[in-house]
Amino acid sequence: MTWSNGDGDAIQLGHGGGGRLSQQLIRELLLPALGTSDGVLHDAALLPAQPGRLAFTTDSYVVRPLIFPGGDIGRLAVLGSINDLAMAGAIPVALSLGLILEEGLPIATLNTVVASIQRAAVECGVAVVTGDTKVVERGKGDGLFINTSAVGRVDHNLCIHPPAVMAGDAVLVSGDLGRHGVAILAARDHLGFRTTLRSDLASLLPPVQALLAAGLELHCLRDLTRGGLASAIDEIATSAGWAIELQEPAIPVGAEVSGACQLLGLDPLAMANEGRMVVVLPQSQAEEALTLLRQVESSAAQIGTVLTAASPNNPWPVQLRSELGVLRPLDLGQGEQLPRIC
């Protein structure tokens, strides 16, 4: 069986059984594709000693379809977890890869996704050092689910998390919103609309490193994945115990995303992104931060301000001020509008 000419070749249950087929899958497809072809298989990978604090994160990826405009589940699985490290201001040290394959998955699809994983890992300066493959029966999975976990090192002394947020802070976004969600929806044929939009899927390491290198006092970073800006801002406000007011006209949403959301009755602020983040930092540093963010994405913008804590008179953690100056609470939504967006 040659892994490379995958016509008709498909994953069998035995590829997950721990016997000869499992070893063949690991030795002939996974290890060479991931650049770890020394042929030595370890239960646990050893990492060199790291100075300072560590960051650790995990995410599973069940996106549908597996390949979409601007990316695929493999690239998403690497950048998604690396972006979670970036939200702690951490530099990636090592990545793990857990695959859950459905019986019948074409080997050619697996080859494509694993090659994409490797390219994304190289781009982020990290290696897949440990992994695992399971196979479930036909009809008990959906082609391919991926888990990645990542270890990073923290070279700064900041505490970048909601409790560090202060009244008066500026709230920025690193670019226009909603392109990942719309690209995924468009790729689901049955939705019956077409767009030239591609996912915003991208590594957030470069902009975060630029902000840290400039010595900016980052209070909170949050990448805008499932649930979009709405979910992230609500979490930050609720965790931090402050209220946040967003200026609706300042929130960057492209015309194509805006149009698609109107067509489908969806809220662009709740649409998923995979290469966008919120940055909360002192208002006095907002301009410098925006200049740095715009070197990566010209649409980066300040979209709001942290106010004092929510009060009985104003019980909403996040409010939106419209173009006409009217305030309304942010609608978090029940969250079921977009299943399996990541």
Chain residues 231-290 in contact with a copy of itself, contact rule CB under 8 A: 231, 234-235, 239, 270, 272
Please check whether residue 200 is in contact with residue 277, taking contact to mean a CB–CB distance below 8 angstroms.
Answer: no
Q: Which is nearer to a copy of itself, 58 or 284 (CB)?
A: 58
The answer to whether 114 contacts a copy of itself (rule: CB under 8 A) is: no
The answer to whether 227 contacts a copy of itself (rule: CB under 8 A) is: yes
Site for a copy of itself in 58-77 (CB under 8 A): 58-62
Q: Which is nearer to a copy of itself, 19 or 249 (CB)?
A: 19
The answer to whether 20 contacts a copy of itself (rule: CB under 8 A) is: yes
Residue 295 in 3-state DSSP?
A: coil
Residue 207 in 3-state DSSP?
A: helix
**Stretches 191-199, 211-219, 247-255, 333-341: which one binds a copy of itself (CB under 8 A)?**
333-341
Q: Count CA within 13 A, CB hemisphere, residue 94.
A: 14
Please check whether residue 199 is in contact with residue 276, taking contact to mean a CB–CB distance below 8 angstroms.
Answer: no
- Bridge partners of residue 123, in order along the sequence: none
Using CB under 8 A, pick the residue from 11, 113, 120, 135 that binds a copy of itself: 135
φ, ψ (nearest 5 deg) of residue 42: -115, 150
What does each C-alpha distance from 204 to 162, 275, 276, 305 come to in angstroms?
A: 19, 6, 7, 22
**Stretches 92-100, 109-117, 182-190, 310-318: which one binds a copy of itself (CB under 8 A)?**
92-100
The answer to whether 39 contacts a copy of itself (rule: CB under 8 A) is: yes
Whole-angstrom Cα distance, residue 66 to residue 43? 28
Residue among 109, 111, 110, 99 nearest 136 (CA): 99
Q: Which is nearer to a copy of itself, 52 or 249 (CB)?
A: 52
The answer to whether 99 contacts a copy of itself (rule: CB under 8 A) is: yes
**Stretches 164-172, 192-200, 299-307, 330-338: which one binds a copy of itself (CB under 8 A)?**
330-338
How many binding residues for a copy of itself (CB under 8 A)?
A: 93
